[in-house]
């Protein structure tokens, strides 16, 4: 019988932030520019699979505050402060899309698709405050997420993407670039957000992920976002992923129950 899941959170030092764009904190005052999470050039010398690829099998987890907001933000009730994981600090929205993001932010307690128990999509599934498990073979990589039984299959066999379909977790095709796993994901639809702060995308979204092993217990994760309907240019987020090493560790169940969110965030009569 599986054990009940415990809440997982990241503790981050509180920042003094300047707030713009409808209350979203966009800049750090007096802070030195932050370097990328890690160098993307592979110098990996950790364990390998029989086909000599880096061994990614195991349970992994991101420990940051990107789930709440991928841009820099101050702490608030239930939300830890965090640095931006977006290269350059801010997301290059088109003007109409920035206004839409700010509207999403104001309605986030009921409008976040996660609160409706929708699957988180890509790349958000990676940095939810829950672990995920990678199972690696020469022809495909399966990823199982603790949140709501979400899964992905990344095909490495050279087959083409499926066309004219929408999947909550997308259609993923991968390849190895030396020791770096590069994954292209399309067919993601427009129903998911990048975070709880209302950062969003359209059905034109294409995501290119790069999983760069640093050593046996750390990956550098990069996700390049390409969506010409919403953004002025492609942009990239990056962060470190940590291998979980606890004894007898396994994924547990996080069952999402939409009616719980209804009770928490809606007043009688259905009003927020």
Give the Cα separation of 135 and 233 in Å (integer): 33
What is residue 231's predicted lDDT score, i.e. its pLDDT?
98
Is pLDDT of 76 > 50?
yes
Q: From CA 241, how far away is CA 63, in angstroms rounded?
A: 7
202 close to 191: Cβ distance less than 8 angstroms: no
Q: Could you tell me the maximum CA-CA distance found in the chain, to the nearest angstrom?
A: 60
Lowest mean pLDDT: which of 37-51, 67-81, 94-108?
Answer: 37-51
Would you say 187 and 206 are in contact if contact means Cβ atoms under 8 Å apart? no
**Angstrom distance (rounded) from CA 54 to CA 265:** 44
Q: What is the mean pLDDT of residues 82-90?
A: 98
Q: What's the token pair of residue 26? A: 């966009």
Structural domains of the chain ordered from first start: 47-265 (2.40.128.20)
**pLDDT confidence bin for 5, thresholds 50/70/90:** very low
120 vs 10: which has the higher pLDDT? 120
Mapped onto helix, strand or coil, the DSSP state of residue 272 is coil
- Read off the pLDDT of residues 189-229 as tens digits, 9 standing for 90 and up: 999 999 999 999 999 999 999 999 999 999 999 999 999 99
Q: For the chain, give the mean pLDDT.
A: 85
Considering the entire predicted model, what is its pTM? Answer: 0.81
Q: pLDDT tens-digit profile of 235-248?
A: 999 999 999 999 99
Examine the pLDDT at 18 and tell me if it is beyond 90: no
The 10s digit of each residue's pLDDT in 123-157 is: 999 999 999 999 999 999 999 999 989 999 999 99
- At residue 13, the pLDDT reads 32
Say how far apart CA 2 and CA 153 lie, in whole Å.
24
Confidence of residue 162 (pLDDT cuts 50, 70, 90): confident
Beta-carbon contacts of 197 under 8 Å, excluding residues fewer than 6 positions away, are: 24, 68, 69, 70, 71, 73, 101, 104, 105, 108
Percentage of residues in the chain having pLDDT higher than 90: 71
Q: Does the structure show a pLDDT above 80 at 263?
A: no
Can you tell me the mean pLDDT for 170-191?
96
**Is pLDDT of 1 > 90?**
no
DSSP state of 16: -
Rounded CA-CA distance 240/187 in Å is 26
Per-residue pLDDT, averaged over 256-271, amounts to: 59
| Cα(128)–Cα(171) distance, integer angstroms | 20
Q: Is the pLDDT of residue 101 over 80?
A: yes
């Amino acid at each position: 019988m599986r054990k009940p899941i415990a809440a997982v959170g990241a503790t981050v030092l509180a920042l003094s932030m300047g707030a713009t764009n409808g209350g979203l904190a966009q800049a750090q005052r007096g802070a030195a520019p932050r370097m990328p999470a890690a160098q993307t050039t592979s110098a990996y010398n950790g364990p390998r699979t029989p086909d000599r690829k880096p061994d990614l099998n195991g349970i992994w987890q991101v420990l940051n505050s990107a789930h709440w907001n991928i841009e820099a933000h101050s702490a608030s009730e239930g939300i830890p402060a965090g640095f931006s994981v977006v290269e350059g600090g801010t997301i290059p929205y088109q003007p109409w899309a920035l206004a839409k993001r700010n509207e999403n932010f104001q309605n986030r307690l009921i409008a976040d698709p996660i609160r409706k128990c929708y699957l988180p999509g890509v790349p958000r599934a990676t940095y939810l405050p829950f672990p995920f498990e990678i199972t690696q073979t020469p022809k495909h990589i399966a990823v199982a997420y603790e949140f709501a039984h979400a899964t992905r299959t990344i095909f490495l066999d050279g087959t083409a993407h499926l066309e004219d379909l929408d999947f909550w977790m997308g259609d993923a095709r991968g390849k190895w670039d030396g020791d770096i796993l590069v994954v292209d994901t399309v067919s993601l639809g427009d129903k998911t957000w990048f975070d709880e702060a209302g950062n969003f995308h359209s059905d034109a979204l294409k995501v290119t992920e790069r999983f760069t092993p640093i050593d046996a217990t750390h990956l550098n994760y990069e996700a390049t976002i390409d969506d010409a309907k919403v953004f002025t240019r492609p942009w990239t987020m990056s962060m470190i992923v940590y291998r979980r090493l606890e004894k007898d560790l396994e994924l547990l169940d996080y069952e999402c129950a939409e009616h719980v969110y209804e009770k928490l965030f809606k007043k009688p009569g259905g009003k927020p």
